Homo-oligomer: A and B are copies of this chain.
Amino acid sequence: MPDSSLSLALVQLPCSDDIEANMQNTMRRIREAAAKGAQIVILQELFAWPYFCREVDERFFDWAEAVPGPTTQRLEKLAGELEVVIVASLFEKRAAGLYHNTAVVIDADGSYLGKYRKMHIPEDPGFHEKYYFTPGDLGYSVFSTRYGRIGVLVCWDQWYPEAARITAMMGADILVYPTAIASLPEEEGELAERYRNAWQTIQKSHAIANGCYVASVNRTGTEGTLSFWGHSFVSGPFGEVLAEAGTDEAVVWCKADLQVLDRHRTTWPFFRDRRTDTYGPLASRWLDDDDT
């Protein structure tokens, strides 16, 4: 039987305050991954930027750019030259005073396939994303690339089974999550491990519930008080971890056989039995109060 597996490469890097240096470092890693046979390269959230959302400061808005725009042009050129699919997360300036946390997919012929704007925006100590990003208004998105149908979600989206489900029902074989998740100083030790385990568990559950692959790419390194914990990983449709990084800079390699998903879902037929007639309440905010 011919090998129908795809080669995924997840690029997990630290970022400095020098955006161009981060960009160059990432592009070098993409070249190296392609040279080793990667077909789909997935970058971390806001891959070329330091995680500026740890502070509330208007000067960081100057770092946003049009999408598509200068960065996607560079990535298109690279993707076409190397014949790799690239998933990249960018800081989008849409209009004066209107910014998004946006991911793009570029096909292996260098063509820009489209963008996804992060739907669920966090706002927590060290993660002031609601200050910077307007929640996405493009809906959920699946992109048909040369190598497979990729559903793109971003970081905080990963805690929402709703987002994974809708994206899977749109035809995704792989859900990818560019991510920037870190421990705060008060969360070291056992608590940090609890958060990290929960982070992996919830994403594995999306692979199980939807009979697909999940690839999650986190950044690494320390920025201010945030310790990005890396541990980028790929889960198969049983929720089994197929490949995983540690906390250091790394490229995670994984083979993913999209051909197995058809039979997997047929013999484990969760989609057959969804009670779509009963899911209307999911569009509610909460159900046990009398909110009058």
Contact = CB atoms under 8 A, between A and B. Distances in A.
A276 B281 contact: no
Contacts of A162: 161, 165, 274-275, 278-279, 282
A120 B272 CA distance: 10
A273 B163 CA distance: 12
Interface stretch (A33-41, A174-182, A200-208): A200-208
A137 to B, nearest CB: 9
Contacts of A58: none
A124 interface: yes
A163 to B, nearest CB: 8
B286 A271 contact: yes
A279 B278 contact: no
A162 B165 CA distance: 9
A156 B273 contact: yes
Contact of A166 (B159, B195, B282, B285): B282
B239 A198 contact: yes
A27 interface: no
Contacts of A276: 282-285
A66 interface: no
A252 interface: no
A159 B288 contact: no
A240 B194 CA distance: 7
Contact of A283 (B163, B238, B279): B279
A212 interface: no
A69 interface: no
Contacts of A284: 169, 276
A139 interface: yes
A281 B166 contact: yes
A270 interface: yes
A288 B195 contact: no
B208 A171 contact: no
A75 interface: no
Given A139-B278, A238-B197, A287 B171 contact: yes
A268 to B, nearest CB: 8
A170 interface: yes
10 contacts: A120-B274, A124-B267, A139-B278, A160-B275, A161-B209, A166-B282, A169-B288, A171-B288, A202-B208, A279-B283
- Sort A-B residue pairs by CB-CB distance and give the 6 closest, nearest first: A205-B205, A161-B161, A171-B288, A169-B287, A201-B239, A194-B238
